Amino acid sequence: MNKITEDISKWPLKKREEFLKQTFEKRMGKPLDLEEPRSFSEMIQWIKLYYHDPLMSRCADKVLFKEFIREKLGKGYTAETYEVWESAGEVNLKNIPERCAVKSNCSSDGCNILLVPDKSGIDLEKAEKEIKENWFDRMKLHTNSFANYYYGVRPKVYVEEYLEESDDYDVLCFHGEPKFIYVKTEHFDGNINREVGYPMSFYTTDWIYVNAKYKDIPTKADIKRPPHLKEMLEISNELSKDLPFVRVDFFEDSGKLCVAEFSFAPWAGLRPYEPESLDYEMGKWLDIVHTAKPEYVKK
């Protein structure tokens, strides 16, 4: 939940820049260079502040994201949506299916997700109160963040089909090219969405373990090659063509491949890599200052 109570989107750009510089140095242990960013993490801050791509804004809304996937790939590549609530007054958990997932359209990192493997085991009154009070409040969501592509997103809550627990395969794409994958394992613990502490492991697109990691996050070197790896890479290539960077997230559910979401700023670009050289290698792949579409750059 966002702890800043002011509307960040209304801050002058200079104030947002200074706040991010302070935050970056505190989290990453080094200054943030927005004039000539060299690391991937620095470039993520540059994108959040200056790069206003309407496609990114559209896909940051997880409801509209599914429409984009249907346009690009056809039906059947995302979890089925049962209902969309556009205001707190529309929320009625009594009418949700016996098995489903209830999610915010503009949260990430495991926040604002209610997994319902069995409706009879859920305290519906308590859950509905939480959703109504917090899930539509844009000041508590990514809509009040430093990522400009969330500023135009209207908070919604949607109900979708329940997917069985599975690993989460995230394909990192730079200018339309899948470069490597990281896998989130043990993300769900007894249907509880773990926000932190689960292993995140890096693999090449040929499924060779990469001896690199996010700081303070465990990894696993023996994860089996996913059956749909080739299809994941082909889909990621197609979906990322018009974007400088995107992480395309997948689930495999009962043998079916499902596109889960896009991320334009993994960990908000504020978690160190080990070794640090990986951050700079990814920066070379992105090179946002020299490859950005000029019509989307606003300073």
Is there a domain that residue 38 lies in? yes
Average of per-residue pLDDT across 171-187? 92
Q: What angle do CA 64, 65, 67 make, to 5 degrees?
A: 65
- Tokens representing 136? 């539509």
Residue type, 136: F
Mean pLDDT of 147-153: 96
Q: What pLDDT, on a 0 to 100 scale, did the predictor assign at position 295?
A: 97
The pLDDT value given to residue 192 = 45
Q: What tokens were used for 149?
A: 């592509």
Question: Is residue 193 scored above 70 in pLDDT?
Answer: no
Is residue 1 a part of any domain in this protein?
no
| pTM (2 d.p.) | 0.93
Is residue 151 included in any domain, yes or no? yes
**Which of 29 and 192 is assigned the larger pLDDT?**
29
Which residues constitute the domain of residue 278?
8-296
Number of domain units in the chain: 1
The backbone region for 191, taken as left when phi is positive above 0, alpha when psi lies in -120 to 50, beta otherwise, is left
Q: Is residue 156 assigned to a domain?
A: yes
pLDDT of 230 reads: 96
CA 101/CA 92 separation, integer angstroms: 14
Given a cut of 90, whether residue 191 has pLDDT beyond it is no
Instruction: Give the span between the Cα atoms of 175 and 249, in whole angstroms.
Output: 16
Nearest alpha carbon to residue 85 among 104, 99, 67: 104
Q: Please list, in sequence order, all residues whose beta carbon lies within 8 angstroms of the beta carbon of residue 293, skipping any fewer than 6 positions away.
A: 53
Task: Determine how β-strand 213-214 pairs with β-strand 200-204.
Answer: unpaired
Residue 66 maps to which CATH number? 3.30.470.20
Q: What is the mean pLDDT of residues 52-72?
A: 97
Distances (CA, A) of 23 to 14, 33, 126, 178, 271: 14, 13, 35, 29, 11
| Per-residue pLDDT at 187 | 61
Q: What percent of the chain has pLDDT over 70?
A: 95
Cβ-Cβ contacts under 8 Å for 159 (sequence gap 6 or more):
81, 82, 83, 84, 85, 96, 97, 100, 101, 102
